[in-house]
Amino acid sequence: MVENREIRVFHVCGAIGGGAKGFQRASVRVGNLQGVFRCLGSVDVDPAACRDFEKLIGSKATVMDLFSRDQYTAWHGHEPPAGWREATPEDIRRAAGNERPHIVFTSSPCKGFSGLLNEGRAKTAKYQALNELALRSVWLSMEAWKDDPPEFFLLENVPRIATRGRRLLDQLRGLLEHYGYAVAETTHDCGELGGMAQSRKRFLLVARHQAKVPPFLYEPPARPLRGIGTLLDRCPLPGDVERAGPMHRVPALQWKTWVRLAFVEAGNDWRSLQKLRVADGVLQDFCIVPEHAMPGAQTHPVNDPRFNQSARWNDGQQYGVQRWEDTSGTITGQPNPGQGRFSVADPRCSGGFEGKGKYKVTRYDQPTGTVISGSTTGQGAFAVADPRPSIDRSAGNYLTAGHYGVVPYDATSKAVTGSACHDNGFWSVADPRVPEPSEKLTCVIRSLDGTWHRALTTFELSVLQSLIDPEEQLELDGLSDQAWRERIGNAVPPDAAEAVAIVMGRTLLAAWSGQTFFLDSMPIWVRQVGVAIALPGNVAEAA
């Protein structure tokens, strides 16, 4: 008979609940024990993130500032407001509903450890105070349940914490060992843990309470990464907010950004732009014209879309465009086109406009498509590119009425009539304007490879983070795409968290069923200093 055993999880700096969602949907079984994960709640300083957590997870998220007074002053540059106080272990227990968790999962702020922040700023008192939240959050958690410690403790951060935060990690290790934990520092690709379409390298500090959990904790198995198109192909086309919700709108980017993206080779980044030939600030070998030329349409040179070489771009991320079949780069808290690989060469642009016979024009030297009963409504083969001599100007209808007339930009328009259309009068204009480089637009510019190089929508970023499936909808708190993107980028991918939850849950169930040792084909994740102390009785002594 199967016996359900509850595994309680509490999240410190839980953000919008990505990690919590992964733990919630994990399922484990050892013998006749079935593990059921339950979230006790979360604490986070961001009220909007806490509202998102409650919406996504259904558990209480408490708004709580974990800074000490000195850290608050160093980060904000001023003293805390009246009524502010430091969080205490009792506050942490209260946020967990006064229940004891088996697992504490924290993902403290990583800005000070990130390579996106230069070394000089990372060493300032402001960012050192932010970094120290990792240590303070662990201390608060340990003190909250010091009489009955959680079986596992997990800290997630960026890999650079192992170098920039070495001093803090040594203190963390000493603190956890003081409370009886065996500690391991590892770096994993969350994309491989969850079989995602995103490569996301992260640092994971994992601690196992040795007295309460004798069995080793083994690493989760790695799975192949997927191409970005395997997920995006299931999403509606960008802009279809009716099916995907408001987060699937195409971002309005500066005109120069659209032009730069169009000239970046798929699978490459801003360095593709260095191959372009520019003289006197004008692109020499290309011009931009409408895909469907209008009468009197003119072509114009564009400003130089290249960048000056900059050391901060040496990582090859800026204006990166992913191929449809490649894996996405890491989704960060600032996923804009100019800050990483957050654009995609979408092949559906051409397919959507050319592959369905809509308003198709047949070349004069090619056979027509099937003649159907609806060939006058935009469907099928109803138009031809006729190369024969133009209209006979002796025909009275076209002699004086100005059909297909184009007005110069500095001339006066004709009288506007009730039936004004481009083919029955002077209703077109020779417009010399092009958008200003910084003007924000929503554009479809077909790149040289025939695809639409575009920024990923906020909805697509949430799909790549595995927060939702492509067939679902997601709307976070507020109305700001920028705020949504930051919270999405800060989230722990649920698919990766689920893989971690499974190995932790299995180890817990093994310990609760009386096992002190079991074998696994995966490497041991957390072990004691001496392997022998995990073995029972005389075997341990002999070892």
What 3-state class would DSSP assign to 246?
helix
Q: What is the pLDDT, as a whole number, of residue 358?
A: 57
Provide the 10 A C-beta neighbour count for residue 215.
Answer: 19
Tell me what pLDDT residue 309 has: 35
Q: Round to whole Å and give the CA distance between 233 and 156.
A: 30
In the structure encoding, which two tokens stand for residue 296, read together?
Answer: 């009197």
Position 259 scores a pLDDT of 85
**Residue ranges, the chain, pLDDT below 70:** 289-318, 334, 338, 349-360, 369-382, 388-401, 517-523, 526-543
Please report the pLDDT score of residue 352 as a whole number.
Answer: 39
Pairing of strands 33-44, 3-12: parallel
- The tens digit of pLDDT for each residue in 171-211 reads 999 999 999 999 999 999 999 999 999 999 999 999 999 99
Cβ proximity of 381 and 360 under 8 Å: yes
- Separation of alpha carbons 30 and 2, rounded Å: 10
Q: How far is CA 470 from CA 107, 224, 230, 256, in A?
A: 26, 20, 10, 30
DSSP string, 116-146: TS-HHHHTSHHHHHHHTHHHHHHHHHHHHTT
Angle in degrees, CA 140, 141, 142, rounded to 5: 95
> What was the pLDDT predicted at 290?
65
Copy the structure tokens of residue 238. Answer: 């960008």
pLDDT in the model for residue 391:
54
* pLDDT per position as a tens digit, 336-347: 776 777 788 888
Q: What is the pLDDT of residues 472-498, one digit of tens each?
A: 999 999 988 889 989 998 999 999 999
What would the two tokens of residue 134 be? 């990792």
pLDDT at residue 398, rounded to an integer: 53
Q: Which residue has the tokens 């997990």?
A: 154
- Domains of the chain from N-terminus onward: 3-226+491-542 (3.40.50.150), 250-456 (no CATH)
Q: What count of residues does the chain have? A: 543
Model pLDDT, residue 477: 94
- Letter for the amino acid at 101? P
State the Cα–Cα distance between residues 488 and 476, nearest whole angstrom.
Answer: 9
Torsion-angle region of 239 (φ positive above 0: left; ψ -120 to 50: alpha; else: beta)? left
Instruction: Supply the pLDDT for residue 330.
Output: 82
Residue found by looking up tokens 């079991």 in the block: 518
| Rounded Cα–Cα distance for residues 40 and 51 (Å) | 15
Full-model pTM: 0.77
Contacts of 129 (CB under 8 A, 6+ apart): 67, 70, 71, 72, 74, 75
Query: Which neighbouring-strand residues pair with 41?
Result: 10
